[in-house]
Amino acid sequence: MAGILETWRQLEARQSQGENSHLTKQQRTRRRLLGFAVELFAENGYETTTASEIASAAGVSRATFFLHFPTKAALLGELSRQLGSVWSMETAPERETPLEAIRRLIEFLFRESSFDAVGSAVLIDFVETYGSDMTHGVGENTIHDHAVALVKRAQAQGLLSRDWSADVLGHYIIANFNLLKEELNDLPADRAADKVFQLLLKGFAS
């Protein structure tokens, strides 16, 4: 499985120049900070890398870092947004059902966001910092945003239970991926995705 640095570099390589040219200054700054953060995490370790070092490497002030990210842990939300951008480029099979799309999203996560010890440290810090508050891990075009949209489609077609909100089920999908990705490390992405997808169906299929 790819480490967080390799994952980031692959994401950057798959972002088109056309997209980059349409980013706002704020978006470019956030992406630049994330890129240098990932490089420093891989080189020096997550715990020992400071916000000041990330800001310095990116050529901005420490205050600018905290203007965009209240904590190091909040960088996870920006990484999710970059993954979301790549997911948006994926071509959906013709006549794909919402459930098939959810399963494809899970496989995409196993294929594109396989993290090493550094990535795990980021995730652990996020959970320890924010607990159940997902504010800094959600938002427009994040993986959660895409998961919620697919769940809503599935619920509208009666394929998933409406007893739980699409927001909760979106978090459920991502949480199960995060919990099981290490255990399923040796499986191909498609088989690992099948296992996580089956958990969703067992718990929430209509």
Residue type, 127: V
The 10 Å Cβ neighbour count of residue 129 is 15
Hey, how many other C-beta atoms are within 10 angstroms of the C-beta on 17? Answer: 7
Sign of CA dihedral 104, 143, 141, 59: negative
- The residue whose two tokens read 């992406």 is 31
Place of tokens 């399923």: 184
70 contacts 33 by C-beta, under 8 angstroms = no
**Tokens found for residue 193:** 């995705």
The rounded percent of the chain whose pLDDT value lies above 90 is 50
In degrees, rounded to 5, the angle at the alpha carbon of residue 100 between the alpha carbons of residues 4 and 180 is 40
* pTM, rounded to two decimals: 0.83
Contact 102, 193 (CB under 8 A): no
Euclidean distance between CA atoms 139 and 135, whole angstroms: 8
Beta bridge partners of 205: 160
The pLDDT confidence band at residue 16, using thresholds 50, 70 and 90, is low
Range 153-167 average pLDDT: 96
Question: Average pLDDT, stretch 179-198?
Answer: 92
Question: In order of start, what are the domains of the chain with their CATH numbers?
Answer: 4-68 (1.10.10), 75-204 (1.10.357)
**pLDDT level of residue 1 (50, 70, 90 thresholds):** very low
38 or 147, higher pLDDT: 147
Cα–Cα distance, 145 to 77 (Å, whole number)? 11
**Distance (Å, whole) CA 133 – CA 137:** 9
Nearest to 101 by CA among 199, 197, 1, 204: 197
